[in-house]
A and B are shown apart, each in its own frame.
Chain A
């Protein structure tokens, strides 16, 4: 059974703080993703990664960065948290070969609800 875990379920930070959200998957998946979920906007892709040390911008990368030093771990970093980054953050992973392979479903972590005061 695929397991995707996130470091925190709830997090409260202050404006200007540096925030780290961590995601770990145990299925040797190549692809990992970070989304934010806001009411009425669905899931919006922040960053994704096809392999270790690789990263690609998603639709809303501004104010965020990522790190993937190991295949199983994908970190989302808010360099200087702002109130408009208050949201639910979801990590996901999937197997599948980039650039021509067969895409498989995404498996999601439980989410981190971040509040920036």
Chain B
């Protein structure tokens, strides 16, 4: 089955700097790669996603890149702000809709 590894487990950045989180997956049949943000005490919420027919997607300060050959995808947050502090999860899934999540990255943005 699918296995998703996520790094780093914690990430501390200065406000205004960029943050990058990387994930690798094992199943070449995976075709959908969402990223979720979970603030303390709240449910995970989708922040951006990418499908296997696209190499890069951007939404304001957030971007995701996908390298299908290498089976890895990354989340990039630019100009980080204190409200970006949260746990971020990557996931991979195939057309059957079974999601496999990474272990999560705790991002701390310090003023």
Contacts and interface: CB of A to CB of B under 8 A. Distances in A.
Contacts of B9: 40
Given A41-B103, A42-B89, A42-B104, A103 B97 contact: yes
Interface residues of A, number: 30
B25 interface: no
A90 B103 CA distance: 15
Contact of B45 (A35, A94, A101, A108): A108
B99 A98 contact: no
A56 B39 CA distance: 29
Interface in B67-111: 89, 91, 93-104
Nearest to B45: A108
Contact of A48 (B32, B91, B98): B98
A105 to B, nearest CB: 5
Contact of A42 (B1, B49, B94, B102): B102
